[in-house]
Structure 1
Amino acid sequence: MRWDRFFDDLEDQLASEWEAERAALDTEAERLRLSRVALHERLAMLAAADATSPALSFEFADGTTLRAAVTGVGADWVALLPAEGRAGAVIAPFSAIAAIGMPHHEILRSARPAPARSALADRLTFGFALRDLVRRRVGVSIHLGSGRALTGTIDRAGADHLDLALHEPGAPRRAESVAGHRIVPFSAVAWILVEGTSSVL
């Protein structure tokens, strides 16, 4: 009888050790998976949120904090819909995002395995998004990392910079209303408000 109990205890101990070892392996596998997760994957998970999800708090290099929902993710930029303030969509390069605030359950959801990303999304660079704004001739407010804001219309977008015709916000780009021109390196951009639209691309 005592031998039966001894073997039962031994069997329980082995099962417990096996469960602990399996849990440790699962934890290590999850740590390894998380070490490979990129920001664009987490933002893509946040873009898939339903309408009841709370607005996130985006802090940018210029010191601005925007409450917004993620509406799209490119190769190196994110599209946002602000929850308040002036109407329009926002695009921001990943490099200008200082922090993203959200409830803990959203942080956990964003870290889940993301669905496969299309090859097209990897080709939609920040420059590509800006060239689309050039084509549409929409007014923008470009917020620089220095804290300054420039308003106008993007005339051209190169590989790593843009040409901006300066004019009053909301005014169409006409030669007589242009107050000057600026070349702006992409690296100087914190975020861009695209006037009069709720989506980018």
Structure 2
Amino acid sequence: MRWERFFDDLEDQLAAEWEAERAALESEAERLRLARVDLRARLIGLAHDAEGPVTLELADGLAVEVRIAAVGADWIAAPESEGAQRLLLAPIPAIRGIQAAHGDLLRSARPAENTDRLAERVTFALALRDLARRRVGVAVGVAAADGSGRVLTGTVDRVGADHLDLALHDAGAPRRSADVRAYRMLPLAAVAWVRIDASAGVPVV
């Protein structure tokens, strides 16, 4: 009986060691997987699986509560929380922090089941060119090197490879030459966000 108990104990110990080794391998594989996950993938996870809104902290100091609706190649589209009726477009490099519920953060780290191949090719510059084509009035948050910012309102006239031309006029007013106060050229790297009214009818990616 003692020998039978001895072998039973060895089997139990071996099974426990195998289970511990399997768990360690799975844990290491998960760490390696997470090491390859970038911010865009986490944003896609928040767009698909977040149960509540998130707060975006942007390069010009703006902190705004939104629900991420779509993720392009290098930017996000996010309606601001209920009541605002405004859509925020933000380049991913301008995001300085994201506050979200713990469960939403955990879900955003899961492997993506489906990715939108078309959205992956839509860049921030391309989205801005669509706004220019539609002559949509916008507010643009511009970030300074010291982290401060200012807001410009007007219409995007044209978009180059790494910059845009903005005709400055009052918010909500149509772009008429007589009403344009000035023209501003902005590097895209300085744009922290672009805000448009939901009434503009601009489709999300």
Instruction: Return the TM-score normalized by structure 1.
Output: 0.94
The residue number in structure 2 matching 1:81 is 79
Asked if the contact 1:75–1:125 (Cα under 8 Å) also holds between the matched residues in 2, the reply is yes
Residue 150 of structure 2 corresponds to: 148
| Distance in 2, Cα, partners of 1:164 & 1:85 | 28
Aligned residues: 199
Letter in 2 for 1:42: R
- What's 2:63 paired with? 65
TM-score by length of 2: 0.92
Q: After superposition, what is the alpha-carbon deviation per residue over 1:60-105, rounded to whole angstroms, capped at 9, x for unaligned? A: 1111100000011001001111015743211001111000000110
Amino acid in structure 2 at the alignment position of 1:64: L
8 A contact 1:87–1:197 mirrored in 2:
no
CA deviation digits over 1:108-154, x for unaligned, max 9? 00000012434322211110110111111111000011311110000
DSSP 3-state at the match of 1:44: helix
Distance 1:49 1:3 in 2: 55
Please state how far the C-alpha of 1:41 moved relative to its aligned partner. 1.3
Task: Give the Cα separation in 2 of the matches to 1:156 and 1:170.
Answer: 19
Contact 1:56 1:102 in 2 (8 A): yes
More displaced, 32-41 or 177-186?
32-41
- Match of 1:35, as an amino acid? A
- What is the one-letter code of the residue matched to 2:137? G
Q: Provide Cα deviations, 1:31-78, integer angstroms capped at 9, x if missing partner.
A: 11111112111111211137xx21101001111100000011001001
| Residue 136 (structure 1) aligned to one of 118, 128, 134 | 134
1:168 corresponding residue in structure 2: 170
Give structure 1 stretches of 5+ with no counterpart: none
Pick the aligned partner of 1:157 from 156, 159, 166: 159
- Aligned with residue 178 of structure 1, among 177, 180, 183: 180
What amino acid does structure 1 have at the position aligned with 2:204? V
What's 2:27 paired with?
27
Using the alignment, how far apart are the partners of 1:130 and 1:192 within structure 2? 9
**What is the Cα-based RMSD across aligned positions, in Å?**
1.5
Sequence identity (%):
55
Report the AA paired with residue 122 of structure 2. L
